[in-house]
Structure 1
Amino acid sequence: MTQRRRVLDLLRTINMASCQCPAHSHRGNIQVTNATPLKDYAFEIKCSTVRYGLGVTKEVGLDLLNLGAKNVCVMTDPNVVSLSPMKAVLDSLTSKGINYKVYDKVRVEPTDSSFKDAIKFAKEGNFDSFVAIGGGSVMDTCKAANLYSCDPDADFLDYVNQPIGKGKDVTVQLKPLIAIPTTSGTGSETTGMSIFDYEEIQAKTGIANAALRPILALIDPLHTLTVPKNVAIFSGFDIFCHALESFTAIPYSERGPAPANPALRPVYQGSNPISDVWARFCLQTLNKYFFRSISNADDIEARSSMHLAATMAGVGIGNAGVHLCHGLAYPIAGNVKQFVPDDYGKDPIIPHGLAVVVTAPAVFRFTAASDPDKHLEAAELLGADVTGVKQADAGKVLADVILRYMERLGIVNGLFELGYKATDIPKLVEGALPQHRLLKLTPVPQSGEDLSKLLEDSLTVY
């Protein structure tokens, strides 16, 4: 305690002795107390190593060789397994004499059941390293398989986020995981998040821990040339909402309580100056390249830029977090009825990017009062003219620019066209309320009635 008091006294002395001249008078006022802060006072940036470049996938064999890998689990889905990205991975492993086994049963929009099947494969294989090649579903499944194979006695809900699971901290040592994304959206290649549909409650939840992060993300824009149109659109809107939500999330200094130990600081910490850099980059990239990347699948500049933006958005959300669009999207996707979009097979599914963007206009009208300037800045970065716009109109302006993107890219006219009616709203609210991790990052408090209103406003959006 004596040493702590000396530190506090020193800080106070520095504050009092700081230069008072006009040039330096905006130094702030350091407030130091002996009490444990109710709000957090720091943020940290953690990220996978990122390697970006055309054809970089061919290096994965050498990467595994450098790690001393002897028995590798390669995870992918039934679509990617027959495409050129998978061939590039296996050719690289074979050329370096790396032994591997392929798990190609990853479910697009995974469930707890599909996670458990992949976990069983990983446990039986006794692998010393993992490679995930595919979209966010593949990378999230591979993270879970790695975790539970390294803690084989754990109950499935031990690591799942509270209040659905126990939210247990990860203390076991995970095996090296290399992630190679083939879509441009989730940013899962850099995050400690693993998301799935928990079938019991018909809503998404997940596992959040820095230990899940891949050690290396190989960002190869060549893989984006094989992405179908609707997959590219919905993945792009995932970037869109990642950037907007992390940019407008509650500031890190307003999130609480402060951790008693820095190791306990959560993965999602709130907006901060560094994550804001990534968000701005992503919004500018979307403004310049989103439409181009969809109108011409062979536009390598546009698709490369979107691929990089997805990773940068992942760095942003992996530390700042997301809020209401994602919190509402989880029950929207989990309660799908008959909606089957093109390019996604024959089974009913509401792709993640579609589920998050459908409520975005309503969400940002709702959150704008928390920081009108930031909402207007986001709208401007996306291409809106905000000259002379009043702060009171920030939510409307941002919502209008979001709608412009949605309409031009053919997004359905709200929840109604996804198969939902007003009578479904209570069940959707029920699925959203347990998403504490996301709702608490929303920059304004919200009640169940607020969530109901947001969903009502999203039944039709144009």
Structure 2
Amino acid sequence: MSLSSYFTPSPGGDTAFTVEAPKIKFGIGSLKEVGLDAKGLGMTRAALFVDPKIMGTAPFNQVTEGLQSAGVDFTVYDAIEVEPTDTSFKAATAFASEGNFDGFISLGGGSTMDTCKAANLYSTYPDDFLAYVNAPVGQAKQPPGPLKPHIACPTTFGTASECTGIAIFDFVEMELKTGIASARLRPALGVLDPQVLKTLPAMVVAANGFDVFSHAFESLTARPYTHREAPADPSKRPLSQGANPYSDLACLQAIKLVGGNLVQAVNDPTDENYEALMFAGMLAGIGFGNAGCHLPHGMSYAVAGLVQDYTAQGWASNHPLVPHGISVIVNAPAVFRFTGDACPERHLQGAEAMGADISDAKPEDAGALLADRIIEMMKATGIPNGLNGVGYSEEDLDKLVDKAWPQQRLLVNAPKSVSKDDLRGIFVDAMRYW
């Protein structure tokens, strides 16, 4: 098999990559089967984590009726915080620790699924909270054994948390986002029913769609796995291995689906748009669950963590909030202008997949061409105009850089090295696009 020249090994670089494939069920009506799925995984008493906005809706009724029919006892936990915090993770852990559950089910967006992952981890293997948190914020300790089975049922399509071993939260005291990453956090089963997307507000669809795109394109342009040092112990390969042929296939198709469906899904949606976007989210989750994201996500944690007075339309929140997909995409055009020269052929692939005409493009135009296409779609879907659009100005640059710089797990996965000055320059370029 001949692989892309992007994977030409560097001295001391790895020569193998690991495929971590999630178990997924996809299709209309699949939520009705969750009760039997839970029974099949050996659950008799489940913790059902539910986004409070989902309570009493058709998806909630389908899941709970299925559990009752299958004879699986369950207790509902709905104290889910939008964009969860260390405090909300700890509260969920206390619930899980007291409940003597033998399995977990989550029904909601990424916040619900990530909260459920954390509660499963800390209640199964109690430890100091920072023990499992990503370095350098925490100790990045790996769970000592398998977790209890978790069925993740997304009601959005952006985070793809049902596909990954990652749980993201706001560390309030430090004013930044960080997370926990381990293959053991990956749910035992993800159940994706495209019908759940029909009730999402337009801006939520837009933010989710751009999160999917950024997951996919960051993974496509991540540092190749062959440029990461080969581990002495193969079990120590990181969850984010860098770009690899397996993730490439999923990510490129995800980008094509977003490029062909997102604008219509926001402005005049059809069932076909929703099905395509939910499938794209799954594919991107498979991709970045193996390859990992880089700069837009690393920068997004500072944008979300330092928010002062912005709240997006479509989100119910009692505090200022830059939703995750928005905090990512407001950085993306500036990032891809910066990274375009590192792998221009991949930036051109991404631009074409998103719908740009690359027929006369030169390699040196690759980053700008992709950035222009993203900006065009941001305008068409109502996304804020860069960092200015979510309440930031040049006066915030030092704080943004200082909060983004600790996200080294993500920053070192970029296709080119990034200094603090580089990061500042990207934030400057991301302030306003039109």
TM-score by length of 1: 0.91
Aligned match of 2:357: 385
Matched, 1:289 2:293: no
Displacement after TM superposition at 1:37 (Å): 6.8
Matched, 1:176 2:172: no
**Residues 37-58 of structure 1: CA distance to partner in whole angstroms, max 9, x if unpaired?**
7322211111221111100011
Matched, 1:42 2:13: no
Could you say if the C-alpha distance between residues 82 and 210 of structure 1 is closer, same or farther in structure 2, counting changes exceeding 3 Å? same
Displacement after TM superposition at 1:404 (Å): 0.7
Aligned pairs for 1:111-260 within 5 A: 111-152=85-126, 154-255=127-228, 257-260=229-232
Displacement after TM superposition at 1:294 (Å): 1.5
Name which of structure 1's ranges 115-124 and 38-47 shifts more when overlaid on structure 2.
38-47
1:139 & 1:165 partners in 2: Cα distance? 21
Q: Helix, strand or coil: the match of 2:291?
A: coil
The share of aligned pairs that are identical, in percent, is: 45
Of 281, 295, 305 in structure 2, the residue corresponding to residue 310 of structure 1 is: 281
Give the gaps of 5 or more residues in structure 2. none
2:296 & 2:134 partners in 1: Cα distance? 18
Displacement after TM superposition at 1:405 (Å): 0.7
Q: Partner letter of residue 156 of structure 1? A: F
Displacement after TM superposition at 1:64 (Å): 1.3
2:146 & 2:357 partners in 1: Cα distance? 50
Q: Partner letter of residue 408 of structure 2? A: H
Displacement after TM superposition at 1:347 (Å): 2.5
1:41 & 1:47 partners in 2: Cα distance? 19
1:109 & 1:47 partners in 2: Cα distance? 26
What is the Cα-based RMSD across aligned positions, in Å? 1.9
Matched, 1:85 2:56: no
Displacement after TM superposition at 1:80 (Å): 1.6
2:360 & 2:202 partners in 1: Cα distance? 37
**Residues 273-322 of structure 1: CA distance to partner in whole angstroms, max 9, x if unpaired?**
1101111111110122112221234x111101101110110000000000
Matched, 1:336 2:307: yes
Give the gaps of 5 or more residues in structure 1. 1-23
Q: Partner letter of residue 156 of structure 2? A: T
Q: Partner letter of residue 303 of structure 1? A: Y
Displacement after TM superposition at 1:340 (Å): 1.2
Displacement after TM superposition at 1:187 (Å): 0.7
Native 8 Å contact 1:167 1:207 kept in 2: yes
Matched, 1:327 2:327: no
Displacement after TM superposition at 1:263 (Å): 1.1
Q: Helix, strand or coil: the match of 1:318?
A: helix
Native 8 Å contact 2:267 2:381 kept in 1: no
Aligned pairs for 1:60-75 within 5 A: 60-75=34-49
Could you say if the C-alpha distance between residues 388 and 150 of structure 1 is closer, same or farther in structure 2, counting changes exceeding 3 Å? same
2:340 & 2:167 partners in 1: Cα distance? 29
**Residues 199-249 of structure 1: CA distance to partner in whole angstroms, max 9, x if unpaired?**
121111001100000011111111111212111111111001111101111
Native 8 Å contact 1:72 1:131 kept in 2: yes
Native 8 Å contact 1:150 1:172 kept in 2: no
Displacement after TM superposition at 1:172 (Å): 2.5
**Residues 153-180 of structure 1: CA distance to partner in whole angstroms, max 9, x if unpaired?**
x001000011100001111231000001
**Residues 18-44 of structure 1: CA distance to partner in whole angstroms, max 9, x if unpaired?**
xxxxxx999x9xx99xxx973222111
Native 8 Å contact 2:125 2:143 kept in 1: no
Aligned pairs for 1:23-62 within 5 A: 38-62=12-36
Aligned match of 1:19: none
Aligned match of 1:10: none
2:134 & 2:2 partners in 1: Cα distance? 45
Structure of higher CA gyration radius: 1
Displacement after TM superposition at 1:385 (Å): 0.8
Name which of structure 1's ranges 170-179 and 156-165 shifts more when overlaid on structure 2.
170-179
1:215 & 1:25 partners in 2: Cα distance? 33
Q: Helix, strand or coil: the match of 1:442?
A: coil
Q: Partner letter of residue 405 of structure 2? A: L
TM-score by length of 2: 0.96
Aligned match of 1:432: 404
